[in-house]
Chains A and B, each alone.
Chain A
Amino acid sequence: MKKEQVKENFQFYFEGILNSYSRVFFSKSKLFAFIIIAATFINPASGLSGLISLAASLLFAEWFGYNKIFIRDGYYGFNSLLTGLALGVYYEFSPAFIFILLFASMLTLLMTVWLAVFLGNYNIPFLTMPFLFSTWISILSIRTFKAIELSERGIYVFNDVQNFGGIYLLKFYDQIISLNIPFVLDAYLKSLGAIFFQFNIFAGFIIAVGIIYYSRIAFTLSLVGFFSGYFFYFFQKAEFSDVYYSYIGFNFILTAVALGGFFFVPSVKTFLLVIIASPLVAVILSAFSYIFNIIQLPIYSLPFSLIVMLVIFAMSNRLTPKGINYVTNQQNSPENNLYKFANRIERFERDTYYHFQLPFYGKWFVSQGIDGKITHMEDWKYAWDFVVKDESDKTYNHTGASLNDFYCYNLPVLATAAGYVSEVVNDVDDNEIGGVNISENWGNTVVIKHDNFLYSKVSHLRKNSIRLKKGDYVKKGDILGHCGNSGRSPEPHMHFQIQSNDLIDGKTIKYPFSYYLLEKDNGNLFRSFDYPEEGDTVLKVQSTNLIREAFKFSPGTVMKFESINEKGEKEKVKWEVFVDAYNYPYIYCYNTKSFAYFINNETLHYFTDFTGDRKSLLYYFYLAANKVLLGYYDNMEIKDKLPLSGIYSGPLKILQDFIAPFHIFLNAEYTFSFKNIDNELNPSEIVISSNAVTGFGKTVNRKLDFELTLNNNKLKKILISDGKKRISAEYIS
């Protein structure tokens, strides 16, 4: 038990330290962290000082009892790391220095907490502000502490290089210098190194490789940012060498990554934003350098922090995103931010709509749709008229002279969603066929309030068929009344609209039906958050008990599976369903510590996100059940897009990453269908077949096939075929 505790603690600090390193570059990549650590130790004293300061800060934070997740994710550590690195470059290593370093570290931590809360109120990130304040304070105060001596490190690069790698490295360094690296490239690499207070192209090169590994988009951004700054100086006839010698060119790089891909979803527009923001950085840089020179303080990353804070604050006070979208679900990688965002827009943009189902049983025909030519005009254009038709497209049998001849007359009209009845008219006579009642235009009508400023209305109901009164609560699917021919209705039909007020003649607002089936060539197409069009035959989705029960993952549900792969290796896997602090349910895999977030809305089960081990059974299940219709329908296929992150790898993906902000050519598509049902009357087993295909154009890059067997109201079996891999998992308890 004790041993496990120690291991857990070690793991916690270990992750905290790594994340703090990569966090400087807005990343959470461990390998990237190692690369940065290596780079910081080119100047060992500085590297060590940084590490000490960071470790101290994490210990303090844990000891004071701050949020462990923030500590582990590096939010509380990265400023202290920078403080340590900065001070380590300036001063000779001595006990006195370490003493001061610890206090500087703690000061940084306290500043971090304060700024995190203070700026958090305005939704502004604190960035490197804590580091700046505490480092300046330290530098100023140390001037009075005689025990601490200035260091020459960072000034004499050759010495540093020799200290780090001996004479051979020095010779190698000499050779590289004699290669006559173009000035700008040299400046770029040194600026990169300078982020971690390493003023040599070695460190810069290592970090550049690290950035490419971490994010192709970030790398491109770093170049765009740096060169926009450079060209600005060029045009303004300013001396870029000022920037070069003071090693503060990295401000352009950090600003570019922050604005271009971290805080905003990478796109052409964020690239333009970076190009616009770079001169601003330059302006701030020049202005503040002037002031700071007076008190002999370096300005470090102040321009970066100020500009990014400024832009974010300004951008968060816009009315529309206009292509510069704030990242709401931070993935700590510009690529993933982009792919997740693109996928979310594709899949869930309309999920925020209130769910309205169709107001009837069976197949109805849209006789007049949105912008209809008969009456759906101007303020009342977002409405639908529904009737019932027979095989020969007639709406009536016999002569059609009496109301009863019309198929839709007297059919039940259902509540499209739950709500309170806010208005009822029930006493308008039904017209004879061909007659219209212009004075009581809407006829018998029910208006239901679903939410503030969200009402639905059905009109032209049969006289006295409404058994509700104002204030009654109706559930989704309750019968409101019966279809009739009252009001401005020459033949029986049902009028439906969504409106923002409770008036009988309320103006319509454009609002989709959540889910419905569209009849097409003897089959049905599944439609989500769509608008039925004139001439469509539509019906509502009916769920099937077995599927609904099998996908009912209530919090606390534990599922255990035994899987066996093509090599015959067996594994037992344990999942449990939880709900997070934001009320989002997810399945957690104990074996791989993976999370699969899902939504179940009684029509669909779908996964929204996955984090963790992408070789785990849970990941495959996340793909296999990415979008499951909870009602059995023969011959129906549902397609959806999967996020590119995770499912793709290899050179194509790297190429895609580079150009992703401008064009996404790869795709990952999900297809779902029902394969088998043992008995439609009382099904005890339903088999779902799904696949995930990645590729571009018609080229298939990777194809995964899945089969899910539902039996006895449980997910009984998962079959996976991924290239040569074959996994079969069976539910055990």
Chain B
Amino acid sequence: MKKLQYERPVLQLLNSGTMNKYGTKTEYAPFTHIDGASVHDLTEKFGSPLFVISEKKIRSNFKDANRSFKTRYPKVQFAWSYKTNYLNAVCNVFHQEGSWAEVVSGFEYSKALNNGVPGSKIIFNGPDKTDEDLRTAILNNSPIHIDHLDELYMLQEISEETGQRPKVAIRVNMDTGIYPMWDRFGFNYENGQAWDAINKIMLNDKLDLVGLHCHIGTFMLATNAYSIAAAKLSDLAINIKYKYKKNIQYIDMGGGFPSRNTLKGSYLLGVDTVPTIDQFAEAICTSILNAGFLEEELPLLILETGRALIDDAGFLIGSVISNKRLSDGRRAVIMDFGVNIMFTSFWYDHKITPAQEFSDFTEDMVVYGPLCMNIDVIREHVTLPLLKRNDKVVVHTVGAYNMSQWMQFISLRPAVVMIDKKGVPHEIRKRETINSIESEEIVPEYLKTFSLNGIEKRTG
């Protein structure tokens, strides 16, 4: 007989329902394997904490989204939003699936180029593009999405100077009925800024206006907002055709589709409330198809979906450092991962599942990270089975933003592995060492020596 696992004792006040002999029972099962790879084996091999990415899930997410749009609209192109997760292995999975690249900085642009994405398939977004960035993008024939007038003027100057004709789109912001309105990026639709920018481009032959872009917000829960946005962009495109006899090649609806995470403060779980990609596709495609384009002049529809495609393909495995009881009697558990590597725990109530067998008993607890900071809270309230030191847990839906927004703070950043379609793990980013951090540091010569307790110590 297998030895029963030790579990600490728990006393629990029954405060709801009729009494029964089972207490509060958990509904979920331990999460022991990710795509067939054992969680415990993974931590043994690659350490804890550890980010795990499921290649299978990425591909199926992409195919589902692609199908959702392509069965509703004749010309669809996805562009992988680099900022969401720019680990090269991840980007390349998307590129293998046919995705272009969407970047928002010179750094990301270089990353896409290094990954082998042709310049003409790198969409350059963002408010901060340097003169040098723009020149590179123009040379590579990349579509540049203009964010503000200064950028427009800068492009015209470069074009005048080099004689090249950059391919540009303008980013348009608009009222889609949601709050807050993202009006700090691009040109406003309602007050005429967008037309002002369009006229400035069209009346001066220096730039080739190929597209219109918008990005109405993030983690959008209202599909209707996309209908409105698509209708407004289509309206611009059709009127550009009327006014300038110019066919707009594409409409870029940006990103913003939510993942299945649960936003902090929401009553219901994300999986139950978040609209599906199908619903967003329906809203956007119907809007464009009904806008009044001639069938052969329908613009290409570009989507910069990031989060919705990668979030649930990412897992974080961590270990319990300690159990604690807080002053008010609440239970707390300290994990070896914190907000430093899981930035998104500020936004979501992440689902956490133990990776080993547990009994039916659960306890409400606070989950803390390992940092010496009070804000390092992963979950303020979560009902979990009873955990002990070194138990492994899996945090779900962490594929988006964590691996690009993580901080090297107090501890080093963990390794990232990708489980391929056959269940074989590949390390795609190594655990950081002290060298990864210190390699960029320079200590001036006069600071290299110091003496404590009278014993001279020399570093470096």
Tell me which of A361, A390, A408 contacts B70 (CB under 8 A). A361
B300 x A681 contact (CB < 8 A)? yes
Q: Within 8 Å CB of B297, what residues of A?
A: 545
List A residues 409-454 near B (Cβ within 8 Å).
410-412
A542 within 8 A of B: yes
- Bound form: Cα–Cα A479–B64 in Å: 22
B71 x A681 contact (CB < 8 A)? no
B67 x A390 contact (CB < 8 A)? yes
Given A410-B278, A412-B72, 9 more A-B residue pairs with CB atoms under 8 Å apart are A361-B72, A362-B72, A363-B67, A363-B71, A390-B64, A404-B276, A404-B278, A680-B120, A681-B77
Q: Within 8 Å CB of B60, what residues of A?
A: 390-391
Q: Within 8 Å CB of B73, what residues of A?
A: 361
Tell me which of A362, A479, A681 contacts B120 (CB under 8 A). A681
Interface size on A, residues (CB 8 A): 28
List B residues 283-323 near A (Cβ within 8 Å).
285-286, 289, 295-297, 300
- Bound form: Cα–Cα A360–B74 in Å: 9
Q: Within 8 Å CB of B64, what residues of A?
A: 390, 397
Q: Within 8 Å CB of B351, what residues of A?
A: none
A325 within 8 A of B: no
Tell me which of B59, B70, B143, B286 contacts A681 (CB under 8 A). B143
B121 within 8 A of A: yes
Q: How far is the CB of B95 from chain A (nearest CB, A)?
A: 14
List A residues 385-402 near B (Cβ within 8 Å).
388, 390-391, 397
Q: How far is the CB of A519 from chain B (nearest CB, A)?
A: 12
- Bound form: Cα–Cα A408–B250 in Å: 26
Q: How far is the CB of A505 from chain B (nearest CB, A)?
A: 28
Q: List 7 A-B contacts (CB under 8 A).
A: A364-B71, A388-B67, A545-B247, A545-B296, A548-B296, A679-B141, A681-B250
Tell me which of A390, A391, A542 contacts B74 (CB under 8 A). A542
Task: Give residues in A with beta carbon < 8 Å to B.
Answer: 360-364, 388, 390-391, 397, 404, 407-408, 410-412, 475-477, 479, 542-543, 545, 548, 678-682
- Bound form: Cα–Cα A388–B70 in Å: 11
B296 x A681 contact (CB < 8 A)? no
Q: Within 8 Å CB of B300, what residues of A?
A: 681
Given contacts A391-B60, A410-B282, A479-B289, contact A682 B167 (CB under 8 A): yes
B63 within 8 A of A: yes
List B residues 126-158 near A (Cβ within 8 Å).
141, 143
Q: Which of A362, A363, A364, A477 has the most CB of B within 10 A?
A: A362
B75 within 8 A of A: yes
Q: Within 8 Å CB of A408, what residues of B?
A: 71
B249 within 8 A of A: yes
- Bound form: Cα–Cα A548–B121 in Å: 23
Given contacts A543-B296, A682-B249, contact A388 B71 (CB under 8 A): yes
Q: Within 8 Å CB of A678, what residues of B?
A: 120
Q: What does the 1/0 interface line of B247-287 toward A look like (CB < 8 Å)?
A: 10110000000000000000000000000101000100110
Q: How far is the CB of A249 from chain B (nearest CB, A)?
A: 64
Given contacts A545-B296, A679-B120, A681-B249, contact A361 B143 (CB under 8 A): no
The closest CB in chain B to the CB of A682 belongs to B249
Q: What does the 1/0 interface line of B51-93 toward A look like (CB < 8 Å)?
A: 0000000011001100100111111010000000000000000
B71 x A407 contact (CB < 8 A)? yes
Q: Within 8 Å CB of A363, what residues of B?
A: 67, 70-71
Q: Within 8 Å CB of A407, what residues of B?
A: 67, 71
A542 x B75 contact (CB < 8 A)? yes
B210 within 8 A of A: yes
Q: Within 8 Å CB of A404, what residues of B?
A: 276, 278
Q: How far is the CB of B96 from chain A (nearest CB, A)?
A: 12
Q: How far is the CB of A434 from chain B (nearest CB, A)?
A: 21
Q: How far is the CB of B122 from chain A (nearest CB, A)?
A: 11
Q: Within 8 Å CB of A679, what residues of B?
A: 120, 141
Q: How far is the CB of B59 from chain A (nearest CB, A)?
A: 8
Q: Which of B59, B296, B300 has the most CB of A within 10 A?
A: B296
Q: Within 8 Å CB of B247, what residues of A?
A: 545
- Bound form: Cα–Cα A401–B100 in Å: 35
- Bound form: Cα–Cα A404–B285 in Å: 17
- Bound form: Cα–Cα A408–B77 in Å: 20
- Bound form: Cα–Cα A479–B121 in Å: 31
Q: Within 8 Å CB of A391, what residues of B?
A: 59-60, 63
The closest CB in chain B to the CB of A398 belongs to B276
- Bound form: Cα–Cα A681–B247 in Å: 13
Q: How far is the CB of B140 from chain A (nearest CB, A)?
A: 11
Q: Within 8 Å CB of B70, what residues of A?
A: 361-363
List B residues 361-379 near A (Cβ within 8 Å).
none
- Bound form: Cα–Cα A548–B297 in Å: 12
B249 x A362 contact (CB < 8 A)? no
Q: Within 8 Å CB of A476, what residues of B?
A: 295
Q: Give the 8 A-B residue pairs with the shortest CB-CB distance, closest first.
A: A362-B71, A362-B70, A679-B120, A682-B249, A411-B71, A477-B295, A682-B210, A542-B74
Q: Within 8 Å CB of A390, what residues of B?
A: 60, 63-64, 67
The closest CB in chain B to the CB of A475 belongs to B295
The closest CB in chain B to the CB of A539 belongs to B70
Q: Within 8 Å CB of B210, what residues of A?
A: 681-682
- Bound form: Cα–Cα A148–B276 in Å: 103
Tell me which of B74, B77, B120, B282 contacts A361 (CB under 8 A). B74
- Bound form: Cα–Cα A412–B278 in Å: 12
- Bound form: Cα–Cα A85–B417 in Å: 98
Q: Within 8 Å CB of A680, what residues of B?
A: 120-121
Q: How far is the CB of B103 from chain A (nearest CB, A)?
A: 15
- Bound form: Cα–Cα A185–B38 in Å: 94
- Bound form: Cα–Cα A679–B143 in Å: 11
The closest CB in chain A to the CB of B100 belongs to A681
Q: How far is the CB of A562 from chain B (nearest CB, A)?
A: 27
Q: How far is the CB of B296 from chain A (nearest CB, A)?
A: 7
Q: Within 8 Å CB of A681, what residues of B?
A: 77, 120-121, 143, 210, 249-250, 300
Q: Which of A475, A681, A682 has the most CB of B within 10 A?
A: A681
- Bound form: Cα–Cα A411–B74 in Å: 12
Q: How far is the CB of B212 from chain A (nearest CB, A)?
A: 13
Q: How far is the CB of A415 from chain B (nearest CB, A)?
A: 11
The closest CB in chain A to the CB of B69 belongs to A362
List B residues 216-256 near A (Cβ within 8 Å).
247, 249-250
Q: Within 8 Å CB of B74, what residues of A?
A: 361, 542
